[in-house]
Every structure is written in structure tokens, then in C-alpha cells.
Amino acid sequence: DTEVTQTPKHLVMGMTNKKSLKCEQHMGHRAMYWYKQKAKKPPELMFVYSYEKLSINESVPSRFSPECPNSSLLNLHLHALQPEDSALYLCASSHTLTGTNTEAFFGQGTRLTVV
């Protein structure tokens, strides 16, 4: 089973709203990722968590706030977003970050529209 579950699948939010994206995996993976993907572009890395600690922040604006409450869950808290933040937000997980067990599996994504 290589399932990563993201909720919600679609989200429309106003620029003054606060919302959260959720990601869950039960594969025992210890690395989890947030990516952002705009239309016809490759995924862009936002954050990496390893063993529930933030490992990488790719200079993401503070209106995006990640959280890893436990090894199975990853959240992305959204506040005061801009219309240009509209994109497909992808969560992924892998067993580890280094070595030969680093295959990353993606969830179905959350299609976010900021109005």
C-alpha cells in the first residue's frame, strides 16, 4: 500500500481566510514533503519534514505554515493568501531522506483557489 491521503481535494478561500490542508500516510514513512505545482510546471518543493522535525524550508512566505503533529500527519496552515498562491498543493512521503529507500509517493493533491 503506497497511499498518501490529502484533504480536502478542492478548496476555495478568500484572501482573509485561514484554512488548513491535511495529509496522512500509514506506511511508516519518516519523511514528508509539501510541494506546490502551477499549471504546466513541475512540482516545486516547499517544505521537508524528517522524523517530525522541519528539515527544509525553501524560503516559503510565512503565510504558509507547516506542522507535523506526528509521524503520520502533515498539515499546511494557510493565512492571508494571494490569488497567485492558487495551485495544486501536493503532499508526499518516503521511508527516509537519504540512502536507497527514498522513493517519494504523492497524494492526490489539494486544488486551491484563492479569490
Partner 1 sequence: QKEVEQNSGPLSVPEGAIASLNCTYSDRGSQSFFWYRQYSGKSPELIMFIYSNGDKEDGRFTAQLNKASQYVSLLIRDSQPSDSATYLCAVKQGGSEKLVFGKGTKLTVNP
Cα distance between residue 115 and residue 31, in whole Å: 32
Cα distance between residue 96 and residue 31, in whole Å: 5
Residue owning grid cell 528539515: 55
Least Å from the CB of residue 80 to partner 1: 26
Which of the ranges 22-30, 59-67, 74-82, 101-109 carries the binding residues for partner 1, by CB under 8 A?
101-109
- Asked if residue 27 binds partner 1 (CB under 8 A), the reply is no
- Asked if residue 66 binds partner 1 (CB under 8 A), the reply is no
Which value, to the nearest 10 degrees, does the dihedral of the CA atoms of residues 115, 24, 67, 64 take? Answer: -20
Question: 79 or 111: whose CB is closer to partner 1?
Answer: 111
Which of the ranges 22-30, 42-50, 67-75, 78-86 carries the binding residues for partner 1, by CB under 8 A?
42-50
Of 77, 66, 79, 81, nearest to 32 by C-alpha is: 66
Which of the ranges 10-18, 59-67, 68-76, 90-98 carries the binding residues for partner 1, by CB under 8 A?
90-98
Residue length, the chain?
Answer: 115
- Asked if residue 50 binds partner 1 (CB under 8 A), the reply is yes
